[in-house]
Amino acid sequence: MITKEVIVNNPKGLHARPATLLVRKAASFKSDIGIEFMGKKANIKSLIGILSLGVGSNVAVNVIANGVDEKLALEEIVKLINSLEE
């Protein structure tokens, strides 16, 4: 299992559109991928899970990956979160 902290720079946080992009990207990996925000955790492969965290703008989240392709999964998810504009 590996973890990385990343800042959500999207001005609107992880609302429906960026959350959907995360779910689609995460679905391409075999590993379990989660996101943690303010002590709550959600599966990144679950749109409702991500939205339930209420992640706003300019806040830190932890991305956690565990599985056979965890390193690549973590890198790609972090890269996607960093590239989210709106």
Catalytic residue of the set 14, 15, 31, 34: 15
- Rounded Cα distance between 76 and 79, Å, is 5
Task: Tell me whether residue 15 is one of the annotated catalytic residues.
Answer: yes
| Pairing of the two strands 59-66 and 2-8 | antiparallel
For residue 61, give the nearest of 13, 21, 12, 27 by alpha carbon. 13
Q: Kindly list the catalytic residues.
A: 15
